[in-house]
Amino acid sequence: MKRILAADIGGTTCKLGVFTPDLELLDKWEIPTDTTDEGSRILEDIHQSFKSKGDDHELNLAGVIGIGLGVPGPVDFNNGILNGAINLNWMEQKPIVSEFESISGIRTIVDNDANVAALGEQFKGAGSGHKDVVMVTLGTGVGGGVVSNSMLIHGHGGAAGEIGHLYVDYNRRFQCNCGKKGCLETVASATGMKNLAVHYYESGMTDTLLKNGIEAGTLSAKSIVEAGEKDDALALKVIDEVAHYIAVALSSLSAVTNPKYFILGGGVSRAGRMLTDRIEAYYRPITFPPAYENTEIVMAELGNDAGIYGAARLVKQFLA
Q: Are 254 and 260 in contact (CB under 8 A)?
A: no
Beta strands at 151-152 and 142-148: parallel, antiparallel or unpaired: antiparallel
Query: Nearest distance from residue 103's CB to Zn ion, in Å?
Result: 34
Site string for Zn ion, 178-217 (x = CB under 5 A): x-x--x----------------------------------
Instruction: Give the nearer residue to Zn ion in terms of CB position, either 74 or 95.
Output: 74
143 lies in the binding site for Zn ion (CB under 5 A): no
Number of residues that bind Zn ion (CB under 5 A): 5
Site string for Zn ion, 151-180 (x = CB under 5 A): --------------x----------x-x-x
Q: Are 29 and 53 in contact (CB under 8 A)?
A: yes
Cα–Cα distance measured from residue 4 to residue 26, given in angstroms and rounded to the nearest whole number: 10
Instruction: Give the nearer residue to Zn ion in terms of CB position, either 235 or 253.
Output: 253
Query: Nearest distance from residue 175's CB to Zn ion, in Å?
Result: 9
Cα–Cα distance measured from residue 234 to residue 264, given in angstroms and rounded to the nearest whole number: 24
Instruction: Give the nearer residue to Zn ion in terms of CB position, either 175 or 212.
Output: 175
Query: Nearest distance from residue 143's CB to Zn ion, in Å?
Result: 12
Among residues 258, 311, 300, 310, the alpha carbon closest in space to that of 136 is found at 300
Query: Nearest distance from residue 119's CB to Zn ion, in Å?
Result: 23
Q: Tell me if residue 193 falls in helix, strand or coil.
A: helix
Query: Nearest distance from residue 79's CB to Zn ion, in Å?
Result: 24
How many C-beta atoms surround the C-beta of residue 207 within 10 A? Answer: 10
Instruction: Give the nearer residue to Zn ion in terms of CB position, either 91 or 178.
Output: 178
The sheet with strand 133-138 has its strands ordered as 151-152, 142-148, 133-138, 261-265, 296-299
Residues contributing to the site for Zn ion (CB under 5 A): 165, 176, 178, 180, 183
